[in-house]
Amino acid sequence: MQIIAQHGDIFIILACLFGFFMAWGVGANDVANAMGTSVGSKAITIKQAILIAVVFEFLGAWLAGGEVTNTIRKGIIDPELLQEDPQLLVYGMLAALLAAGTWLLVASMKGWPVSTTHSVVGAIVGFAVAGLGASTVDWGAVTKIAASWVVSPLLAGTIGFVLFKSVHHLIFENDNPFTAAKRYVPGYVFLVGFIVAMVTLTKGLSHVGLDLTFNQSLLLSILLGLVIMGIGMLMQRRIKFEKTANDHFGYANVERVFGVLMIFTACAMAFAHGSNDVANAVGPLAAVISVVQTGGEIEGSALVPWWVLVLGGGGIVVGLVTYGHKVIATVGTGITELTPSRGFAATLAAATTVVLASGTGLPISTTHTLVGAVLGVGLARGMAALNLRVIGTIAMSWLITLPAGAGLAILFFFMFKGMFG
């Protein structure tokens, strides 16, 4: 208690700095995944992607980023065990933020899409094992998180594969692909609107005090889907058939119709991501602030002051603008060549997987899901369409994330303990 009373202000300043650093990493790495498919398929430019992400990530973080963040992330450690030494929780959360931020910096410089959720989880497990003993970790929860790494890419890949095959069958194999695109694309636009509304309502808004039942969410999502479908149909009317010499079947025109669709998926992914992953940066920060403000009382969940969400949202935006382009390039063009129709299938598959996972309560990572979906779409075109070297590098960086987060957190934890006693 004495340590917290003595150094409280320093702890809060450090927590804000490290929280911003971590949010910067989320922007540089994770947001890039949300935007990668839209940019890679040339539906929008990098500048437009950054603009969309800035607006929608910030909105998602601020509106749906949580009144109450589940501070002790994902129930990995039991806060009761720290009642005697609250300063250990402060050191641990500071170490977790700094460790996860550092690892994200390394990964973003290399252009690896890694999972911020897993970096934070790894860091918290690391400090808990080193500082409190292995028995304090809920290994069941950790196993579940590890299992989701295998399940989410597989599921997203399967959905992406099926979606791309359906697009191919309904539109590209039609006698007149352009007319078919105009007929079927509004249906896909409805799917995007519906699924993203479901993602946001089931995953994002429960902590804004909008506690909707599943059926209410379903109804609202159908309505939103229909509204978005209307907007899509208006935008689609402006696309006229253009004859070009080397494009006999009018495929280029079809891709232009899908380009309209990708703008919707990009906005939607950014909003859902902002509302969900800001908790990674803000959770530990909120924990530190709550412990310091209550003078060492450890509460299971902490109210997040509004300025903390703004700090998180701001950090994400800065990270995206300064460094996001590297990971965008890996996801968008490195794994397989994307066109708007393929990019659409991948984004929608990823969004769908996130909804299903939220329904079942599986802790999954947007990164893994999206990369899995892009792989599924690539596979639908045959093995030759995949860049296996890039995929190998990504898989390696995924395996390293947990131990890297844990190792760095242990190092920083003892550093803070040595500094403050």
pLDDT per position as a tens digit, 74-128: 567 776 777 777 788 888 888 989 998 999 888 888 877 787 777 888 888 888 8
Q: Which residues pair with 77 in a beta bridge?
A: 137
Q: Which amino acid is it at 219? A: L
Res. 279: pLDDT tops 50:
yes
For residue range 153-173, list pLDDT tens digits in order: 888 899 889 988 888 888 888
Q: Which helix (H) or strand (E) holds 32?
A: helix 31-40
pLDDT of residue 71: 42
pLDDT of residue 36: 74
The larger pLDDT score, comparing residue 348 to residue 105, is at 105
- What single DSSP character describes residue 75? G
Mean pLDDT throughout 28-37?
75
pTM for the full predicted model:
0.77
Highest mean pLDDT among 204-208, 218-222, 303-307, 391-395: 218-222
**R_g over Cα of the chain:** 22
Token digits of residue 98:
């700094």
The b-or-e profile of 298-328 (16+ CB within 10 A means b, else e) is beebbebeeebbebbbbbbbbbbeebbbbbb
Q: How far apart are CA 166 and CA 341, in angstroms?
A: 11
Mean pLDDT throughout 276-299?
74
Q: For a pLDDT cut of 70, what percent of the chain falls above it?
A: 83
Q: For a pLDDT cut of 90, what percent of the chain falls above it?
A: 5
pLDDT of residue 402: 82
Mean pLDDT throughout 383-408?
81
Res. 249: pLDDT tops 70:
no
Q: Which residues pair with 68 in a beta bridge?
A: 303
Mean pLDDT throughout 284-288?
80
Mean pLDDT throughout 337-354?
79
Q: How far apart are CA 331 and CA 109, in angstroms?
A: 14
**Is 281 in contact with 28 (CB distance < 8 Å)?**
no
**Is 300 in contact with 41 (CB distance < 8 Å)?**
no
Q: How far apart are CA 184 and CA 264, in angstroms?
A: 16
The b-or-e profile of 137-173 (16+ CB within 10 A means b, else e) is beeebbeebeebbebbbbbbbbbbbebbeebeebbee
Mean pLDDT throughout 301-317?
76
pLDDT of residue 322: 83
Q: Alpha helices of 41-132 — where are they, by DSSP H?
A: 46-64, 86-110, 116-132
Cα→Cα distances 186→238, 272, 321, Å: 14, 22, 32
pLDDT of residue 99: 92
Q: What is the largest CA-CA distance in the chain?
A: 78
The larger pLDDT score, comparing residue 243 to residue 152, is at 152
Average model confidence (pLDDT) for the chain? Answer: 78
Number of domains in the chain: 1
pLDDT of residue 333: 66
pLDDT of residue 98: 92
pLDDT of residue 207: 53
Domain encompassing residue 232: 2-420
Q: How far apart are CA 172 and CA 165, in angstroms?
A: 10
Torsion of CA 126, 132, 134, 140, to 10 degrees: -80
Mean pLDDT throughout 68-72?
46
pLDDT of residue 68: 39
